[in-house]
Amino acid sequence: MNYHCLIVDDEPLARKLVREYLDQISDFTSIGECQDAMEAQQYLLKQKVDVLFLDIAMPQLTGMQFLKSLTKAPLVIFTTAYAEYAVEAFEVNAFDYLVKPITFERFVQSINKVRSFYNQKIDEQHTVHTWINIKEGRRVYHVNTADIVYLQAYGDYVRIFTKDGTLMTKERLNVLKDQLPDIFIQVHRSYIINRQAVKFVEGNQVQVESFKIPVSDSFRDELLDLFK
């Protein structure tokens, strides 16, 4: 992937330094430079920008004010001489905060964070979501298994706890288990959990999201293997 970067700073030498740093990184390209926020706003309307290197102390509109005004912002890395704005910067969802004078080493750290962020987004886009049909009464729900937190056998029924609520279906737990992907693990004869939702194991219980689920001795070793 090639990352398109826009540099916004009212100081020519500051823009030049960021541009020279980007020139040394093959997959990051400076596609434009602006000397104030108003010019940058027009640029963002016309060009796709992946990373915005944004100064804070600028005339008319500060970098902080500019970021707050954007309804859909690219990743924003503040480049500023003022360390005291760091907390506020992250409160407005800045991706990173570089204090001038910016060293190349610190700049590269920020670049690597950008790569990791976009690579994770790509992985999520390519994740295959498994769906399962759950019948509750006369209704059939099409449920994304990634949204299921755990399942509990309840007499002749199974209660399915999802991120959005609870479903009750007249089915056997072992039948549903065969339909679930590998992210689910049985921890008790009456419980199957989504192992991606596990917080911790304590004694004979496992914390799954905000729920405490009992763990049987016969399933405990398999569960603990997840933490190795």
Please spell the DSSP secondary structure of 19-55, one letter per residue. HHHHHTSTTEEEEEEESSHHHHHHHHHHS--SEEEE-
Beta pairing partners, 144? 131
Q: How far apart are CA 76 and CA 21, in angstroms?
A: 17
| Among candidate residues 94, 106, 95, 111, the one with its CA nearest the CA of residue 22 | 111
Tell me what pLDDT residue 100 has.
Answer: 96
User: Which residue, 195, 147, 154, 145, is CA-closest to 173?
Assistant: 154
Neighbours of 110 (CB within 10 A): 19
Helices (H), the chain: 12-23, 37-46, 63-69, 86-91, 104-125, 173-179, 217-224
What is the per-residue pLDDT for 222?
83
pLDDT for 68 equals 92
Which conformational region is residue 137 in: left (phi greater than 0), alpha (psi within -120 to 50 degrees), or beta?
Answer: left
Tokens matching residue 9: 């700073």
**What's the pLDDT at 109?**
96
| Superfamily of the domain at 131-227 | LytTr DNA-binding domain (2.40.50.1020)
pLDDT in tens, 107-159: 999 999 999 998 887 666 555 558 889 999 989 999 999 999 999 999 899 99
**pLDDT at residue 127, as a whole number:** 56
Give the tokens for residue 17.
Answer: 């330094």
Distance linking the first and last C-alpha atoms of the chain: 34
> Which residues in the chain show pLDDT less than 70?
122-129, 227-228
CATH superfamily of 3-125: Response regulator (3.40.50.2300)
Q: CA 89, 90, 93, 95 torsion: positive or negative?
A: positive
Q: Where are the domains of the chain?
A: 3-125, 131-227
d(CA 71, CA 9) in angstroms, rounded, equals 21
